[in-house]
Amino acid sequence: MKRYSILENREIVLLKSRPCFWRKCTFCDYIMDNSTNVEEMNQINHKILKKVTGCKEALEVINSGSCFEMPKETLKAIKDVVTAKNIKKLYLESHWVYRHRLADIRSFFEIPIVFKIGVETFDYDFRNITLNKNAHFKHPSEVKEHFDSVCLLVGIQGQTKEMIRKDIELLLRYFEYGTINIFTENSTPVKRDEALIEWFLNEYQHLKDHPTIDMLVENTDFGVGD
């Protein structure tokens, strides 16, 4: 498992955490990287964090869940790295259910944080019924109150061009940052829509050059994962 990489504008680490509290999203088997062995998690995470150099003055920390599911010792280690390596911006991810606790993390780290959320789509029914995301908001402005960046999922059977056009429009209108993930089939029953993906990559290829949007054609395009 690759757990450290350097992107154009930040370093990124993939750390281990406790199981995601929800674990019911229909499309996700990312929880296979979870652990309940706190000692093992901290040992692996400390080793990976030692690779951070501060060369970009920005660090993204991802895990198979929310940042709140990382051990407190790991959070302390991240803060130590932030201080030691003069990190000026931190990227973290959280589920919608933790939205009222984000201020605690911002206070803990004491530097600007770009909080990311995997909304997958702004279509309420597709998000909560088809994908079973358990993120019950009606409008992007509700998300913007808490989060700085949204992650969208593209290319699942059942999505339409109209849904994706709307998702991209809302991302660009309400958020400075965003991540667009092309769906990669995994051990779940959810399937790719190849024709929809081909259309999207042609229609929105210009977003690959957008300064604050990451487009992941493969789920390992950040240089971490397996």
Q: pLDDT tens across 41-96, in order?
A: 999 999 999 999 999 999 999 998 899 999 999 999 999 999 999 999 999 999 99
DSSP code at position 127: I
Strand-pair category, 89-93 with 58-63:
parallel
Contact 14, 48 (CB under 8 A): yes
CB hemisphere CA count around 119 (13 angstroms): 31
The closest of 205, 176, 208, 183 to 131, measured between CA atoms, is 183
- Residue 82 has a pLDDT of 98
CB hemisphere CA count around 48 (13 angstroms): 27
- Residue 30 has a pLDDT of 75
- Residue 14 has a pLDDT of 97
Domain 4-216 matching CATH 3.40.1410.10: the answer reads no
Q: At what angle do helices 38-49 and 72-84 cross, to 10 degrees?
A: 10
Please provide residue 179's backbone torsions phi and psi, each rounded to the nearest 5 degrees: -130, 130
The closest of 177, 224, 181, 174 to 204, measured between CA atoms, is 181
Pairwise CA distance, residues 183 & 155, whole Å? 5
**Measuring CA to CA, how many Å separate 63 from each of 14, 31, 90, 163?**
6, 9, 14, 28
DSSP 26-50: TT--GGGG--S-HHHHHHHHHHHHT
Residue 73 is encoded by which pair of tokens? 């010792």
Pairwise CA distance, residues 59 & 55, whole Å? 10
- Residue 226 has a pLDDT of 79
Pairwise CA distance, residues 61 & 114, whole Å? 11
Residues in the chain where the model's pLDDT stays below 50: none
Contact 74, 55 (CB under 8 A): no
Residue 151 is encoded by which pair of tokens? 């992650």
DSSP code at position 132: -
Farthest CA pair distance, the chain: 47
- Residue 169 has a pLDDT of 98
- Residue 50 has a pLDDT of 98
